[in-house]
C-alpha cells in the first residue's frame, strides 16, 4: 500500500495548524496518521449516493438559549461597595500595559 501522506505533507500540516513539531517526531507521526487514514478505508465501501448529509444528530434543534430579558441589577454604589479602589463612580485597577499608576 502506498502511503497517502508523506513526511513533507505532515510538515505542511503542522505548519498550517501552527504546531511546533520536532524533526524526530515527524516520521512516527507520518506512520500514525497513515494508520488512521487506513483504518477509515472500509467506510469507502458504502454506497452513499442519495444519502442526505446529517448536520446535527438531534433533528429539529433551534436556539436552546433562553430569552435575554432585563432583570434587577446592582446600583452603582452597591457595585463599588467592595471595590479595593474606586474614583468618580468607576473601579480603579492597576495599569497592565504601563504608562499609568493606580496606586
First and final C-alpha spacing in the chain: 69
Take residue 81 and report the three cell numbers written for it.
461597595
Give the whole-angstrom CA distance, residue 3 versus residue 38: 9
Take residue 74 and report the three cell numbers written for it.
446592582
Residue 91 lies in a domain: no
Handedness of CA 18, 19, 22, 24 (dihedral sign): negative
Residue 13 lies in a domain: yes
Could you give the number of structural domains in the chain? 1
Residue 14 lies in a domain: yes
Provide the pLDDT confidence category of residue 59 given band limits of 50, 70 and 90: low
Name the residue range of residue 35's domain: 1-45
Judged by DSSP in three states, 37 sits in: helix
Residue 30 lies in a domain: yes
Provide the pLDDT confidence category of residue 80 given band limits of 50, 70 and 90: very high
Amino acid at each position: 500500500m502506498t502511503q497517502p501522506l508523506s513526511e513533507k505533507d505532515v510538515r505542511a500540516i503542522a505548519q498550517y495548524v501552527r504546531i511546533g513539531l520536532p524533526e524526530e517526531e515527524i516520521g512516527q507521526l507520518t506512520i500514525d496518521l497513515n494508520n488512521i487514514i487506513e483504518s477509515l478505508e472500509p467506510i469507502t465501501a458504502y454506497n452513499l449516493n442519495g444519502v442526505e448529509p446529517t448536520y446535527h444528530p438531534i433533528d429539529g434543534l433551534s436556539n436552546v438559549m433562553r430569552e435575554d430579558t432585563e432583570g434587577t441589577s446592582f446600583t452603582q454604589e452597591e457595585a463599588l461597595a467592595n471595590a479595593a479602589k474606586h474614583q468618580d463612580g468607576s473601579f480603579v485597577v492597576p495599569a497592565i500595559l504601563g504608562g499609568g499608576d493606580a496606586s
